[in-house]
């Protein structure tokens, strides 16, 4: 039999490893591994992910093909699995090209070799793999636009429909095993902790995307920067977990949306996923080290008090505070708001971007390590093709521009609801006292100069 190892590819349709495994016509055992060292406490990112696993498991159970859960240390649990099922001939899985996922895949490849079985890994999570698009001199791109111009020309892999009847024929029914029993118990514990998220309905995900293509795509370029509007596709979290494949998203758009600037603007955003995947693959230390070496000695501030005020939405800057309170409650954060709050932390407060990246990694329900690291290095001006260090967002100007009537602010800072559209972006000192809203944690003009001085060295 063949073991099909599922990770962040929680679907049957257009799952490269599964489709390739089915071509062998051998029996398939579907496995999901819960790695204890990776587990976090109080993490919305983790909770949403395991609710997505639950959704996938429910879909499999409906066709009488449940997942087999194993838990513990990744290496030990796979070693135990292969010892318990010596008739396994291969492991098929969709691999990661960077970060922890890459190390984990290499580890299990060695476990497979020790048991003298094959390990087959497939690039599935991106349209174009990290090593598939390089400059003419075979070095990686550092700037997005030249990368995008070449990326557009490449033929994208097709969407593949899975033969569900054949899958049901090949998939092995639930096996009784102490290993699987313990794995299922651990999974149930994690699901109980993740009660704040409803079970995800893939049909609704697709319907929402169809609605975006049919009714909202034309307004995407002008609406996507306004957090109070329903201007984005809202797909990132389900692409992250793999409930829907990037190829399905790409080809639905290409085949169903008429040619337009809006369509190209959205495709450009899909390209950013591949770009940041490539950047992290070629800069494996980027999670903890500035890509631009000239900024590795910045004297960051490490103020726990200021950091906590930022996390809790108590900075005195209404758009920043509304964004962070919304984020803390939901695990979601609009892209424009990510840029605003990241700029505020790294430039206005001059706090190390790694603190922000770590907090986002624990709370973002659409957390993707490459995109998150890339975004934080962009905001802090330390990454490849990053915002120049002197580009420092003015949080009040951003608020006036992208939430002009204060709709988003009023939703998450109800204490400011009575203020005018003008005052809500920068309440007066007396208004702050009357409404019990904090004074500004730092003066932006002072903070801007402090950041410029720090980057100039």
- Can you name the residues that pair with 105 across neighbouring β-strands? none
Instruction: Dig out the tokens for 176 from the structure.
Output: 């009784």
Q: What secondary structure letter does DSSP report for 90?
A: E
- Report how far apart the first and last C-alpha atoms of the chain are (Å, whole number): 60
Q: Which residue has the tokens 């922000």?
A: 356
SS3 label, residue 73: coil
Helices 335-343, 369-379: crossing angle, 10 deg rounding: 50
Share of the chain above pLDDT 70, in %: 100
Beta bridge partners of 121: 93
CA distance 209 to 249: 8
Number of CB atoms found within 10 A of residue 294's CB: 11
**pLDDT tens across 299-330, in order?**
999 999 999 999 999 999 999 999 999 999 99
Give alpha helix (H) positions in 123-228: 144-151, 164-170, 178-193, 202-211, 220-223
Give the per-residue pLDDT at 201: 83
Q: What is the DSSP letter of 171?
A: B
Residue carrying structure tokens 């639905």 = 252
CA 40 to chain CA centroid, nearest Å = 16
Contact 331, 44 (CB under 8 A): yes
Chain-centre distance for alpha carbon 35: 19
Cβ contacts of 13 within 8 Å, gap of 6 or more = 160, 161, 162, 245, 248
Contact 371, 266 (CB under 8 A): no
Strand partners, 91: 3, 119
Q: Would you list the DSSP string of 218-233?
A: GGHHHHTT-TTS--S-
Across the range 54-66, mean pLDDT stands at 92
CA distances from residue 110 to 74, 113, 118 in whole angstroms, order as listed: 12, 5, 10
CB burial readout 27-49, b (16+ within 10 A) else e: ebbbbbbbbeeeeeeebbbbbbb
Tokens linked to 358: 């770590």
Instruction: Select from 349, 312, 371 the least CA-distant residue to 357.
Output: 371
247, 15 contact by CB (below 8 A): no
Instruction: Enter the DSSP assignment of 124.
Output: -
In the numeric block, which tokens belong to residue 304? Answer: 């726990």
Residue 312 token pair: 């809790």
The model's pTM is 0.95
Query: If we measure between CA atoms, which residue out of 140, 104, 98, 144 comes closest to residue 123?
Result: 98
**Whether pLDDT at 147 is above 90:** yes
Residue 292 has what DSSP assignment?
S
Q: What is the mean pLDDT of the chain?
A: 96
Helix (H) or strand (E) holding 447: helix 444-456
What confidence tens digit (pLDDT) does each residue in 194-238 have? 878 878 888 888 999 999 999 999 999 999 999 999 999 999 999
User: Which pair of tokens denotes residue 414?
Assistant: 């109800």
Whether 364 contacts 45, CB under 8 Å: yes
Is the pLDDT at 387 greater than 90? The verdict is no
Residue range 401-451, pLDDT digits in tens? 999 999 999 999 999 999 999 999 999 999 999 999 999 999 999 999 999
pLDDT at 176 over 90: no
pLDDT at 392 over 90: yes
pLDDT reported for residue 193: 87
Buried b (16+ CB within 10 A) or exposed e, 63-91: eebbbbbbbbebeebbbbbbeebeebebb
Q: How far apart are CA 101 and CA 368, in angstroms?
A: 11
Q: Residue 76 pLDDT > 90, yes or no? A: yes
Domains and CATH numbers, the chain: 1-125 (3.40.50.620), 202-282 (1.25.40.80), 293-456 (1.10.579.10)
Token pair 């957090």 in the structure block, residue: 227
């Amino acid at each position: 039999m063949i073991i099909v190892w599922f990770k962040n590819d929680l679907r049957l349709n257009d799952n490269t490893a599964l489709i390739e495994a089915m071509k062998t016509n051998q029996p398939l055992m579907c496995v999901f591994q819960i790695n204890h060292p990776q587990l976090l406490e109080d993490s919305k990112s983790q909770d949403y992910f395991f609710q997505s696993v639950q959704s996938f498991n429910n879909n499999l159970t409906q066709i009488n093909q449940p997942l087999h859960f194993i838990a513990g240390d990744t290496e030990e649990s796979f070693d135990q699995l292969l010892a318990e099922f010596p008739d396994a001939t291969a492991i098929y899985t969709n691999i990661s090209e960077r970060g922890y996922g890459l190390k984990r895949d290499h580890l299990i490849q060695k476990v497979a070799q020790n048991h003298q079985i094959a390990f087959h890994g497939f690039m599935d999570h991106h349209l174009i793999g990290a090593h598939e698009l390089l400059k003419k001199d075979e070095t990686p791109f550092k700037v997005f636009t030249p990368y995008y111009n070449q990326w557009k020309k490449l033929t994208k892999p097709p969407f593949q429909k899975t033969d569900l009847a054949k899958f049901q024929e090949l998939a092995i029914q639930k096996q009784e095993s102490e290993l699987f029993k313990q794995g299922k118990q651990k999974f149930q514990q994690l699901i109980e902790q993740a009660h704040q998220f409803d079970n995800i309905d893939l049909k609704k995900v697709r319907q929402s995307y169809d609605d975006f293509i049919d009714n909202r795509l034309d307004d995407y370029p002008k609406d996507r920067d306004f957090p109070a509007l329903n201007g984005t596709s809202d797909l990132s979290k389900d692409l992250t977990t793999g409930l829907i494949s990037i190829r399905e998203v790409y080809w639905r758009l290409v085949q169903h949306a008429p040619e337009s600037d809006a369509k190209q603007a959205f495709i450009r955003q899909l390209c950013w996923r591949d770009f940041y995947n490539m950047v992290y693959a070629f800069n494996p230390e980027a999670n903890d080290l500035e890509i631009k070496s000239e900024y590795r000695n910045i004297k960051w501030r490490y103020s726990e008090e200021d950091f906590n005020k930022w996390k809790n939405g108590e900075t005195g800057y209404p758009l920043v505070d509304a964004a962070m309170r919304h984020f803390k409650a939901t695990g979601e954060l609009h892209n424009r708001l990510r840029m605003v709050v990241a700029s505020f932390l790294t430039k206005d407060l001059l706090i190390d971007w790694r603190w922000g990246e770590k907090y986002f990694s624990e709370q973002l329900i659409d957390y993707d390590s490459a995109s998150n690291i890339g975004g934080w290095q962009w905001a802090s001006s330390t990454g490849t093709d990053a915002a120049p260090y002197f580009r420092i967002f003015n949080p009040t100007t951003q608020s006036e521009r992208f939430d002009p009537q204060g709709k988003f602010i009023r939703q998450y800072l109800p204490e400011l609801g009575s203020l005018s559209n003008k005052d809500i972006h920068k309440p007066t000192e007396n208004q702050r006292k009357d409404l019990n809203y904090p004074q500004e944690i730092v003066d932006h003009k002072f903070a801007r100069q402090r950041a410029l001085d720090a980057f100039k060295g």
